[in-house]
Amino acid sequence: MMPLSQHLPEKDSRSPWVFLRLLRVTHWIKNVFVFLPLPFALATGAELVPLSFLLGLSGFCLLNSSVYIFNDVKDRHRDAEHPSKRYRPVASGEVSLSMAKKLSLVLGILGMDLLGLGAYYGGCNYLDFRETILSLPGIGLTYIIANVIYTVWVRSVVWLDVFFLGLFFLLRLILGCSLSGVYPSAMLLLTGFSLALMMAIGKRYSELSSGLGSVFRNSLGTYSTGTLAFAFRGSALVSLLGYGWYCWSSPLMDSSGWWWSICPVAIGLVKYHRAVIRADGQLEPVELVLGSYWPILVLVLWVVSLMTSMR
């Protein structure tokens, strides 16, 4: 029997919905990490430039889509044999290979241009080495290079693939700091990376629980659900402890109510643990967020409790 990928026609579809699926617009929800430093930045009196923030966020969204399309092009044959990914526009032939390549390149260039404009209107000083490293174009370029390395090699290496997935979320957090006009503290980076690592491990756990093997992802043949669950809980605990330490030691927090915002964070971690580990969830983090109300509710509660616990 011929593999499914050989049965799929290669054609261009002019339906806007097809191109929205190709861009994976729903996955832009991951950029909520960009907004996490915002309350702390405002509390410190950092100068926020709305136009710079909007340009930077928009540019990074386009970079996300550029990378997603690059991955779809690279994985088109494997995706065509996948039970759900075979319906992706490139794997199904709804969008031709040449069109996808061109669109990925154009989105990458536009994304970097918007990040450059965001840096310009945000007053980035390229003569300062530290500011250059944390500048919007610098973060965008790092994101692109890391994703290429991940797609070409790292995703087949056990645990290193999870590390890179966590790095992509961490870059969103650093981008949020840059857009908010503040430098990330060591505790923020530790807590943010632990949270990102937990989500990355949850993604691998969901893939393994759904019955996917090394045929669709090489590294899955080495993982076990028990090991991933242990690593998931460890990352969640480090995230909670790191955030608690920050709230307790930060001069921004009120001495009598510093712990208020820890409660919704703990609730969110427990809920995510139940959805992914306890229930052997087979949904990716994006699908889980879009299909449930509680992540939005927890985020709103966190913002409200955080603002009330600050001086």
Q: Please, which residues have CB within 8 angstroms of residue 30's CB and are 6 or more apart in sequence?
A: 64, 169, 172, 285, 286
- 255-299: per-residue pLDDT in tens? 788 889 999 999 999 999 888 887 665 566 677 777 788 888 999
Classify domain 16-158 by CATH architecture.
Answer: Orthogonal Bundle (1.10)
Please report, for the chain, the start and end positions of each structural domain, with discontinuous segments joined by +: 16-158, 185-311
3-state secondary structure of 253: strand
pLDDT of residue 225: 87
Average pLDDT of the chain, as a whole number: 84
Residue 120 pLDDT > 50, yes or no?
yes
3-state secondary structure of 147: helix
pLDDT of residue 253: 86
pLDDT of residue 45: 78
- DSSP notation for 84-124: TGGGSHHHHTSS-HHHHHHHHHHHHHHHHHHHHHHHHHTT-
**Over pLDDT 90: what percentage of the chain?**
46
- 20-73: per-residue pLDDT in tens? 899 999 999 999 999 998 888 888 877 788 999 999 999 999 999 999 999 999
Q: What's the gap between Cα 274 and its chain centre?
A: 21
Q: Please, which residues have CB within 8 angstroms of residue 118's CB and are 6 or more apart in sequence?
A: 51, 52, 53, 54, 55, 56, 59, 136, 179
56: closest CA among 177, 219, 223, 142? 177
3-state secondary structure of 185: coil
The mean pLDDT of 207-213, rounded to a whole number, is 74
pLDDT of residue 233: 95
Residue 128 pLDDT > 80, yes or no?
no
Give the integer Cα–Cα distance in Å for 258 and 306.
8
pTM for this prediction = 0.87
Residue 110's Cβ-side half-sphere holds a number of Cα atoms within 13 Å equal to 14
